[in-house]
Structure 1
Amino acid sequence: MIPTLNPTVVGDRLHDWVAEADWRRPRLDRAALLLDRPTVRPLVERGRPTRSAPSGSPTATVVIPSYNYARFLPAAVASALDQPGCAVDVVVVDDASTDATPQVSEALAADPRVRVLRNPRNLGHVATFNRGLAEARGELLVRLDADDLLAPGALSRAAALVEEHPDVSLVYGHPRHFTSATPPRARVGRPAWTVWDGRDWVRERCRRGVNCLTTPEVVFRSAVVEQAGPLNEALRFAQDMEFCLRVAALGQVGRIDDVDQALHRDHDASMSVTVGAGLMVDLVERRRVFRELLASVGDRFPDRAELEDTWRDTLADEAFRHAARAVDRGRDDDALLADLRAYALETAPLRRTPLMAARWDALARRRGRAARPGATVRAARHRLRDEVAYLRWARTGL
């Protein structure tokens, strides 16, 4: 007798096994790349730095927006000020907090490297960061949420890469996520560098359709940010994604491989959980991101029309996959499935609309059957796709 597999249990065990594995394990990483290799070719691929620190002492401004994060703020500020090899100043912007943030930030401002701004009323995280951005004066710029931490040496490593590759507009690395009360020790080792043409990097993001950055691990070159402009306040939730893509399009993109560049705290009150949660909100907002991106820097892409079709294809396909998963799991939410169908047909390029409509019709017929043959196999395939994507991201940052 063939045992019946529960795809949820199988998928969860696979995810746990992958999550427990060291993200640097080459066999897992290389296997993932065989299944799903990025199309973008780097200018420099995992090259060893000629120097581990910048030759001078570059300046860096760390902007920390904070709303009711008094309990986390001292550690975030300390992680910025304790960076070796850079002259760091910190701008804390209190978004009219109702906790002890005013008192805590006042104490932190006893250090002359820390400046504190207070909004007269709650303006939201985007306007709050933009206010701090206007006060930035360093050659490098970091946006650090008050509940996250910079890894030791993160700014020095980024500055060394920018010094070696002066056309780089942003540098990022691996962010280690954690849920414990005490932050884990950042993983260190011998770093490597990967550098891409920024437009190629943006093309890969259009092909993937998702953000690969969580923000605290990103170091921007301030001169390019001045050219690109501030966070787009017209966007509701995904401003960070659009901002990073916009800056990337104006230069090269560097990645510091094999070490942690930031520690990202996951908790129920974190901005990444509370802001913009929800499948349809996420899909709609990412569609707006790509529209806004090409409206602002589309003239830098000779293949703009092709790029437009690429992101539209990607997001329409993603909406269909979400619907197919829901059907196979028996989660027949009529309203959600209708929203996903409308989104996919509206988003898909015109040339693909008939094919997309046919796929949805086939899904509707599958949904109408009492038995759904192949559901277990499809569920396992979906989970494998997710795990391969995770391993690819951990290895390449893409």
Structure 2
Amino acid sequence: MKEILLSVIIPTYNVEKYLPACLGSLKEQDFQAYEVICVDDGSADSTVSLLRDYAAGWEKMKVCTQPHSGPGAARNLGLSKARGRYICFMDSDDMLSPGSLSFMAETMEREQLDILAFGAEVLFENERLERERYREVQGFSYRKAYGTYAKGSELFRELVALSDFIPSACLMCFRHNLLKEHNIFFPTRLRCEDEVFCINAWLEAGKAMHTDKKLYQRRVRDGSLMVTAASFDYFREGAAAWRDIMEILGRTDDEAVRSALRAHLYRRAQEMHKRFEAMPGEEQDKLQELPPMEAAYNRLLLEIAPVFRRVSANYIFPWHLFKKGERVIIYGAGNVGKDFARQLQEYSYVTLTGAVDRAGPNARIPGVEVRYPKDLQTMDCDAILLSVQDKKLADSIKADLQKLGIDEAKIRWDGPHYLQKDFYEGYYFPKISERK
């Protein structure tokens, strides 16, 4: 085989249904100087036999196996076997877009990069998942193309400042020597293993680049690890990642990087608190079963998360869209909607009369009842604020509301300017006297 420029590392676990599409997307690439390292993580189905069948007729592919230890351990084993100058990762139920490998290798070579970051197209396995998990589209797409930075830490700071940091190793290509020289490996957890790995890589990287090309295809399906995000195990491993990032913060001297890490920690603490609150009682009770020190640490995280929420609003309510005294309903109970609700609860300039979300009461905003969008037909208000940033999503919501008979004049949206950093000149806040 000729020189290997790019190693593609894929952990596999009980994915017999999805493996042909994943490997097929690699075999169809128009690039040849690559290898594929599949590490099976103790599959109980026919995944291993499928892998060996593919490898028998494909010289680019190598298969390794390990007892079930999680994707972090599997990726580490793949890294130890990799020979490429550059490294990229895939999940075994996902795919690569045509031409992705050639774009990665050529861009890394031409620009002499340590890291190349890119986006993903999200593919829902069925309509139910698209309804229930539609927000994942935003979770794998960046707001803009960020371009090239002299240091990875500078790009990391910019991503965090714009709430655009996506901790997925599958959305990056790495210079292999960067990982070797700084001993960067994945934590050996079943979940939340990407976050610490990606942060360590960003902070150690030299030249880094982000492109708005969607080189990856992310499959949203039933049965994946992310479906278990409401379980206590997910919370526990997310809390462990939070502690790991705290350790990174403790050994970082650059104050600008420290500020970005603190902002990320604030947001992650709020997310873990939200996940814990959404668990059934029997899942929450598992906190009592942890070793005493770990249980105490996790309780502390849950106690301080609401404090972070109060001091870290990322989205500014668009006061300029409203007249004083208007009654407002928020559409969307995500981070944007929660920030808006907190600000409206502090001021009397306009009145928050309710909130709606496609998830209905399953979505939560503290102190506000969340209902389904169809309930807008009977809810009295002067305006409905779309608390989403993506224009396509906002347009889709507007169309749905008009089908419900909602007056278009009531619908307000200014998504591109919601972010605190992006809010354009001339915005204003209600007077201090109008604070509640």
The residue number in structure 2 matching 1:266 is 220
Determine which of 19, 28, 32 is the counterpart of 1:73.
19
2:174 is the counterpart of 1:220: yes
The alpha-carbon deviation at position 149 of structure 1 amounts to 0.7
**Conserved 8 A contact 1:312-1:347:** no
Alignment of 1:222-371 (within 5 A): 222-233=176-187, 237-249=191-203, 250-257=205-212, 259-274=213-228, 277=231, 280-281=235-236, 284-285=239-240, 287-295=242-250, 298-299=252-253, 301-303=254-256, 305-315=258-268, 322=274, 343=301, 345-346=303-304
Which residue identity does 1:173 align to in structure 2? F
Q: Which region of structure 1 is more displaced relative to structure 2, 108-117 or 70-79?
A: 70-79
Alpha-carbon separation, structure 1, partners of 2:389 and 2:171: 22
Written as runs of structure 1 = structure 2, the 5 A alignment for 1:1-398 is 59-110=5-56, 111-119=58-66, 121-166=67-112, 168-180=113-125, 194-196=147-149, 197-207=151-161, 211-233=165-187, 237-249=191-203, 250-257=205-212, 259-274=213-228, 277=231, 280-281=235-236, 284-285=239-240, 287-295=242-250, 298-299=252-253, 301-303=254-256, 305-315=258-268, 322=274, 343=301, 345-346=303-304, 374-376=353-355, 384-388=386-390
Q: Could you say if the C-alpha distance between residues 383 and 100 of structure 1 is closer, same or farther in structure 2, counting changes exceeding 3 Å?
A: farther
Distance 1:235 1:246 in 2: 16
| Deviation, structure 1 residue 77 | 2.0
**Separation in 1 of the partners of 2:83 and 2:208?**
22
**What amino acid is the match of 1:291?**
M
- Output the amino acid matched with 1:177: V
Q: Secondary structure at the match of 2:42?
A: coil
Shift of residue 244, structure 1, vs aligned partner: 1.4
CA distance in 2, matches of 1:76, 1:343: 38
> 1:387 corresponds to which letter in structure 2?
Q
What's the RMSD between the two structures over aligned residues?
Answer: 4.4
- Alignment CA distance shift 1:244-1:373 (3 Å): closer
The residue type equivalent to 1:199 in the other structure is S
Q: CA deviation at 1:347?
A: 5.4
* Deviation, structure 1 residue 86: 4.2
Distance apart, 1:146 and its partner CA = 1.0
Quote the offset at 1:175 in angstroms. Answer: 0.7
Please tell me the residue identity of whatever aligns with 2:83: R
- Rounded Cα–Cα distance in structure 2 between residues aligned with 1:92 and 1:224: 22
* Structure 1 residue 154, shift from structure 2 partner: 0.7
Cα contact 2:157–2:256 (8 A) shared by 1:
no
Native 8 Å contact 1:235 1:288 kept in 2: no
Contact 1:63–1:143 under 8 Å retained in 2: yes
TM-score normalized with structure 1 length: 0.61
Residue by residue over 1:314-339, the C-alpha shift from the partner in whole angstroms, topping out at 9 and shown as x without a partner, is 4466678x59x99xxxx999x98xx9
In the other structure, the counterpart of 1:18 is none
Residue 287 and residue 382 in structure 1: after superposition, are their counterparts in 2 closer, same or farther (change >3 A)? farther
